[in-house]
Structure 1
Amino acid sequence: MEKRRKMQKKKYWKDLDTDVLLIIYQKLSTKDLILGAPLCCSSWYTVSKEPSLWREVDLLNGFNEFIKSNKLTEFVVARSQGCITSIKFPLTASDDDLLLVAQRCPGVKYFNLRLRSDKLLKKKSIYLAFTKLKELEGMDVGDHFVSNGMVLQLINQFCPKFSKLKVYDISWDTVYHIATFMPKINVFDLI
């Protein structure tokens, strides 16, 4: 009889309350939300699909080596159900990844996209992305992303809330473009 009571009182990880799991999952990295916790059991997998866990997505750390960025971007956009507000793209990302997020997550306020300098920006993808990013407040990019001024003009035209810009490996020509096209910027970081 006592053995039966002990068995009835025994708790399993899979039986954790959903609210408790959500609190735990909010502390996990994006990598752990994709490659760790949801693989434990079906109840943990179900909780990992909660859109609120996918508002701030960091794909920059831990994903650059082994996953194609477009598949990874498609995955997190689907999980977020359009709720992404901030995304750090992996180094393997392209402007097509930005377009996908812009089309399906219109509330994006911030993104980090450090395209490799050997990747060419596709005018159509960039133009379409910025026409959708009406809530964009800031971005963190490499010099070549803003060096020709086209992106800055698109931001001025379509992103009225934009106020924060961080640029890596910046050249003096790009500084000139930023001063010319973005005189109202509030935060400007040069790295």
Structure 2
Amino acid sequence: MEKRRRVEKKKRCWEDLDSDVLLIIYQKLSIKDLLFGAPLCCSSWYTISKEPSLWREVDLLHEFNDVNEFNSRQLAELVVARSQGCITSIKFPLTASIDDLLLVALRCPGIKYFNLRLPSKKLLKKKSIYLAITKLIELESMDVGDCFFSDEWVLQLINQCCPKFSKLKVYGISWNTVYLIVTHMPKINGLDLVQNWMLNET
């Protein structure tokens, strides 16, 4: 009787949950839970949390915009490390900078889409933009703030380095930026212009 109880108790251990079942559960979790929740249970759960399929599409925009609670640089480093370089799509929080994009671009060469809403030109660093774009050769689309295109060379650089690029969404758009896009990206397939860069729909 005692032996049977021990067997039943062993079967109920969460750390012994089948990895395929655990992976299905993880696919239902939010990014916040994948980073700071379930993986902290035990080493086996942490190992499953590094499964690349969980990190191909990362949305930090809708869960990590409390400046006092989360540092955008630390978040970028966390998701890149957890993904093992497999991220193909990432939405940065509103607190993110161009250096966060550079960090991800350097370590995740397969990025096809990113969302980075810089509200001010003060947050731009030409060197960081240049280095990031030159690494994003698989880039197909992006959602960015108007200030991202403060200089026409950025559009020219995208044309040169990102042959698959075809869709663009711009927040807080100005007529000057519209002119630059039409002039330097005549082959773009999709252009979405949004007046308010703070809108959260994607």
TM-score in same-fold range (> 0.5): yes
Q: Which residue of 2 aligns with 1:13?
A: 14
Offset from partner CA, 1:81-126 (integer Å, 9 cap, x none): 1111000111111111111111111100000001121533111110
User: Secondary structure in 1 aligned to 2:77?
Assistant: helix
In the TM superposition, residue 59 of structure 1 has moved relative to its aligned partner by 1.0
Q: Which residue of 2 aligns with 1:165?
A: 168
Q: Which residue of 2 aligns with 1:186?
A: 189
Q: 2:85 aligns with which of 79, 82, 87?
A: 82
- Divergent runs of 4+, >4 A: none
Q: Which residue of 1 aligns with 2:40?
A: 39
| Alignment RMSD (CA, Å) | 1.4
Q: Which amino acid aligns with 1:58?
A: D
Aligned length: 190
Q: Which runs of 5+ in 2 are unaligned?
A: 195-202
TM-score, scaled relative to structure 1: 0.94
Q: Name the CA distance, whole Å, in 2 between partners of 1:118 and 1:68.
A: 20
In the TM superposition, residue 144 of structure 1 has moved relative to its aligned partner by 0.9
CA contact (8 A) 1:74 1:100 kept: yes
Q: Which residue of 2 aligns with 1:122?
A: 125
Q: Name the CA distance, whole Å, in 2 between partners of 1:51 and 1:91.
A: 25
User: Secondary structure in 2 aligned to 1:90?
Assistant: coil
Q: Name the CA distance, whole Å, in 2 between partners of 1:177 and 1:89.
A: 25
Q: 1:148 aligns with which of 144, 151, 155?
A: 151
Q: Which amino acid aligns with 1:142?
A: G
Q: Name the CA distance, whole Å, in 2 between partners of 1:119 and 1:30.
A: 29
Q: Name the CA distance, whole Å, in 2 between partners of 1:62 and 1:84.
A: 18
Q: Which residue of 2 aligns with 1:176?
A: 179
* % same residue: 76
CA contact (8 A) 1:137 1:161 kept: yes
Q: Name the CA distance, whole Å, in 2 between partners of 1:31 and 1:120.
A: 25
Residues 125 and 118 of structure 1: CA distance in aligned 2, closer, same or farther (over 3 Å): closer
Q: Which runs of 5+ in 1 are unaligned?
A: none
Q: Name the CA distance, whole Å, in 1 between partners of 2:51 and 2:79.
A: 11
Q: Which residue of 2 aligns with 1:91?
A: 94
Q: Name the CA distance, whole Å, in 1 between partners of 2:122 and 2:100.
A: 13
User: Secondary structure in 2 aligned to 1:96?
Assistant: helix
Q: Name the CA distance, whole Å, in 2 between partners of 1:118 and 1:61.
A: 23
Q: Which residue of 2 aligns with 1:4?
A: 3
User: Secondary structure in 2 aligned to 1:119?
Assistant: helix
